Amino acid sequence: MANQNMTGVALVEGSPPRQTESFQGGTYDERVLVDTMEVTALSTNDTVVLARIPVDARITSVQLACDDLATTSITLDIGLYEGFTDGAAASAVDDDCIGSAIDVDGGVALTEYRYETQGIETIDQPAWEIGGLSARPSYGNFDLVLHANGVSGGQAGTVSVLVRYLVP
């Protein structure tokens, strides 16, 4: 029977033993955001800011549930933006790096989207890498944004989100 140790275990069992580092393969503090709101009828390219997270956060879960938000059809993206100021949208870093063209017509029960466009091997990547940036940006936070990319007959409804992320 073979045994394999993850990086953190190998560091502690090494010679000399070391505490787990606070970067890749390391230990983190978990943050959990739970929120629900009534959104007004969405139109194509409307946005809803779900959470503000540090650019170095390791996003482990993005779960979304919503009512039927359109009388005909609706698809949504979940992505990262540089940040919003005074209610105005800033530039999208990648508007569908978490979820792309998610069909929520008829509503959806709480569903995991974190790995809808990214593989499980990205679990330890900082948000800026998930957003496709080649280097850490100088600003400190991203907005995790719900972007309406295709709406026909938008209608108001409830949106609930559960976001989990780790900070070094």
DSSP state string for 49-85: EEEEEETT-EEEEEEEEE---EEEEEEEEEEEES--B
Cα 21 to the chain's mean position, in Å? 24
pLDDT over threshold 70, residue 17? no
Determine the pLDDT at residue 22. 47
> Mean pLDDT over residues 67-87, rounded?
86
Domains delineated in the chain: 42-167 (2.60.120)
Structure tokens at 57: 């956060």
Pairing of strands 141-154, 47-54: antiparallel
User: What residues contact residue 166 under an 8 Å CB cut-off, 6+ apart?
Assistant: 28, 29, 30, 31, 57, 58, 60
pLDDT at 19: 56
C-alpha to C-alpha distance for 58 and 80, rounded to whole angstroms: 13
Query: In sequence order, what are the beta bridge partners of 79?
Result: 145
Rounded to whole angstroms, the Cα distance separating 80 from 146 reads 9
For 21-42, what is each residue's pLDDT tens digit? 544 556 788 999 999 999 999 9
Please give the mean pLDDT across all residues of the chain.
87
Please report which confidence band the pLDDT of residue 4 belongs to, taking 50, 70 and 90 as the band edges: low
Residue 9's pLDDT band (cuts 50, 70, 90): low
pLDDT tens track for 87-135: 555 789 999 999 999 999 999 999 999 999 999 999 989 999 999 999 9
Q: Range with the lowest mean pLDDT among 18-22, 40-44, 73-77?
A: 18-22
Angle at 93 between CA 40 and CA 152, to 5 degrees: 30
Better-scored residue on pLDDT, 89 or 3: 3
Bridge partners (DSSP) listed for residue 27: none
Collapsing DSSP to helix, strand or coil, 121 comes out as: helix
CA-to-CA distance for 97 and 113, rounded, in angstroms? 10
The CA-atom distances, in angstroms, between 138 and each of 4, 67, 68, 133, 146 are: 38, 37, 38, 12, 23
